[in-house]
Amino acid sequence: EQIWGKILDSILSEYIRSGRPLSLFIDASTCPRYYTLGILGYCLKSGIAHRVTISYAEALYPDKKPGIHGIEELTFTDGWWKAIAPPSLEGMFSPGKKRFFLVSVGFEGWKTMRAVTRADPDRVSILLADPGFNHEYAERTLDGNKGLIDCYKIPEQQIARSVAGDAIGAWKVLTETALERPDKENVFYLCSGTKSHSIALGLRAISVGYPAVLYNLPEAHKVVDIRPSGVFWRFDISSLTVPL
């Protein structure tokens, strides 16, 4: 919250100094989702920015390693996750409606399942990075989230699939599949997959207005040897309601 306040103060100071809507650049590869989504949502919805450009580097991840229970998937975090909404992406809530979770899934499947079951949703769908950054990542992600799929009996038609690094393509898939039922359900987007898919969920939430986007704040982060693959993405998001 303190860091978010400093970021927002810096942006607001430049906005006041310039006297016009800003053009912002975010390197999402090194920026936590909370800040990326907060800047994207707050600045576009408030008119502070007319354009937000986001860069993202695809990653190469280590192989699975031997663990206490056999071969185990790598983890990036320690402890419990706390699901919090970035600023301006809190969505709408009606006490009389059921709860629907659309979850972008990644390697940390058991932690994702723990976060979802704690929220106790009535229905769950997933956004899967398929194809992944390489041919085996989608299979690893499915294996890691089999428990979640089985627990909530998620059918194939409730699994949205999109290229792992393409935020705009994933946004398009989410728009075309339209897995939400806002007339009957409160909608929550849980960001547990790639950063590009988290950006897609944020863009979908901004465009339709009603979903709450949830960031998984861990107790601690682990140091993991992740390298760029050499493939880089650039996303240019412009507001049609904010003047240049």
Tens digits of residue pLDDT in 95-112? 999 999 999 999 888 889
Q: Are the beta carbons of 83 and 190 closer than 8 angstroms?
A: yes
pLDDT at residue 4, as a whole number: 94
Q: Taking 80 as the threshold, does the pLDDT of residue 55 lie above it?
A: yes
pLDDT at residue 73, as a whole number: 59
Length of the chain in terms of residues written: 244
Classify residue 154 as exposed, middle or buried by CB count within 10 Å of its CB (0-12, 13-18, 19+): middle
What's the mean pLDDT in 181-194? 96
What's the mean pLDDT in 202-208? 96
Closest by CA position to 90, among listed 15, 231, 188 = 188
pLDDT at residue 201, as a whole number: 98
What's the mean pLDDT in 177-189? 97
More confident residue, 76 or 217: 217
Euclidean distance between CA atoms 173 and 171, whole angstroms: 5
Euclidean distance between CA atoms 43 and 52, whole angstroms: 9
Q: Taking 60 as the threshold, does the pLDDT of residue 67 lie above it?
A: no
Name the band, by pLDDT with cuts 50, 70 and 90, for residue 154: very high
Euclidean distance between CA atoms 136 and 130, whole angstroms: 10
Least confident of 4-18, 77-91, 146-160: 77-91
Tens digits of residue pLDDT in 11-42? 999 999 999 999 999 999 989 999 999 999 99
pLDDT at residue 66, as a whole number: 60
pLDDT at residue 74, as a whole number: 64
Name the band, by pLDDT with cuts 50, 70 and 90, for residue 59: confident
pLDDT at residue 219, as a whole number: 79
- Non-local (6+) Cβ contacts of 141 within 8 A are 105, 106, 107, 109, 128, 129, 130, 132, 193
Q: In what order do the strands lie in the sheet with 77-84?
A: 77-84, 212-221, 185-191, 98-104, 123-129, 159-162
